[in-house]
Chains A and B, each alone.
Chain A
């Protein structure tokens, strides 16, 4: 009896861990974009969650209404999100300077209200299930049942990590971006064009958000208010990881995902929801600059 019970336990833990990692990677996609935009532009993008919602919506319509496959849909959504990011920067965020912090929040909040309530107006709040073959496929490894849709989301997230890492650490413009995030004035002095860098940061940030939405569309129900509840965790994550610290946000996101999943296996739902907030307050009280220090002056 005993060995069997332990293997069931292990199985249960492994399942929780996997779910935690998947959700953590998706948190990371959203939080890294948010953190990148804050680091480079000193703007907190309150509309960030809406681009996640738009990504999921687009993926839903592309696959269900227009018959695209999962992978082409993800590609299209990511490309559209990146272009949307450029448009967003040119139309709204480009006119803001760092000192108008409250203005930037109100501006992006206004955008969030338009996108979210516009989506409610057009599509109603009824959740839509993106029921493709993918949603019900599993891979069985030993006694573990791994839903294919979650594995795909995990793979996409990791691929996006790798791409972002290569961009930030291996390309000239990526180095410029980190330079601006670390020391704005010094970066301006060595001749980095702040507009080009900022535009790219917003494009990448929104692109990651859209990608996250598309990747998760087969896992969760798609509805206009989905970005809202997600982004509040992303805010907690960027404070925990250190405002403007992109890798800190990624690590904090995966940690939170795993922790939430494990806590969710044993404690009531309300504890799962409160976890991100309580961690944030604890970090603020004990280590205000974030677990991994800050990448930017605040």
Chain B
């Protein structure tokens, strides 16, 4: 009881500090880092749900992110949709695409899913570049307007300043992580872990693996698409680089370092890996080379990741001779 209330208190204080940052500092660099963290952590959290909990290695996240971005940007600028309906449409389209990819490939094997999801992400970038009549090609759609949100009571919030975007994206990230947390700590998350740990056993117990896998993919696609739709108005431009493999590699590293299947671990590593490389001022190429080395080293030296290590420790503790209870 005590430990739980201490944790809850720490969580509430942490959240309050995060929301107070724009009041404490007007530093735009800090706000920019916070916005990056909010967006990237939603992507890595979704990947963790799909890979860490359900055991499906997916490269499709960046595709969902970009689809959400383009959809929201096009609907808001060309069809005069409101921000939220554009973002919701982006999330819905990403989810639909995710279901098609997941359903078609998962019936064959998880090998096929990994391959198809990668092909999908690369295809997205190429389509964004070459379908000029829709996406305006490599130049993208620059100069996205500052969106306005209607608040209850007739107030209108024009999101123009970095602090506005910080609140918007942080608020959405809190919602997204609450949703993911709700799923992974429920019996749905338990079934996903069961499928990852031993799929035939789960099937023999009445669990339908395809249904849970599609649920995980759909949720991660929805959140990635929506966060893309919000993030793109902060960038004020959407072009094919929204599908850059850089995002995929970054969120993979966040999940691997944080520990696949560890909610708080991935959240923490997302924060650290957003801030540290930026503060050290690595160029992107060099950062990707380093990430690659980290990935190889992690796979060779810690095949089970952080989760595997924790599991071995727990097993060792139980195996110690104990006084009979």
Contacts and interface: CB of A to CB of B under 8 A. Distances in A.
Interface of A: 38, 44, 46, 92, 95, 100-103, 105-107, 109-114, 116-118, 120-121, 228-229, 232, 235-236, 238-239, 243, 268-270, 273-274, 276-277, 280-281, 284-285, 288-289, 298
Given A274-B123, A281-B104, A107 B296 contact: yes
A107 B300 contact: yes
Given A110-B292, A117-B289, A280 B119 contact: yes
Contact of A106 (B105, B107, B299): B299
7 contacts: A106-B252, A109-B252, A117-B284, A117-B289, A243-B109, A284-B116, A298-B112
Counting from the closest, the 5 A-B pairs by CB-CB distance are A110-B295, A113-B292, A114-B292, A117-B288, A110-B296
B111 A110 contact: no
Size band of the interface chain B makes with A = 35 or more
A129 B291 CA distance: 30
Given A243-B111, A284-B104, A277 B130 contact: no
Interface in B97-142: 100-101, 104-105, 107-112, 114-116, 118-120, 122-123, 126-127, 130-131
Given A106-B299, A110-B299, A288-B107, A273 B292 contact: no
Nearest to A285: B104
A85 B130 CA distance: 35
Contacts of A274: 123, 126-127
Nearest to A225: B245
Contacts of B123: 232, 273-274, 277
A239 B112 contact: yes
Given A102-B51, A277-B120, 9 more contacts: A100-B303, A102-B114, A103-B303, A111-B296, A114-B289, A114-B293, A228-B245, A276-B119, A281-B101
B299 A113 contact: no
Given A274-B127, A298-B109, A281 B292 contact: no
Interface of B: 51, 55, 57, 100-101, 104-105, 107-112, 114-116, 118-120, 122-123, 126-127, 130-131, 245, 249, 252, 256, 283-286, 288-289, 291-296, 298-300, 303
A229 B101 CA distance: 19
A64 B281 CA distance: 35
Given A107-B300, A232-B118, A270 B292 contact: no
Contacts of A44: 111, 114-115
Scoring B100, B115, B122, B286 by chain A CB atoms within 10 A of each residue's CB, the highest score goes to B115
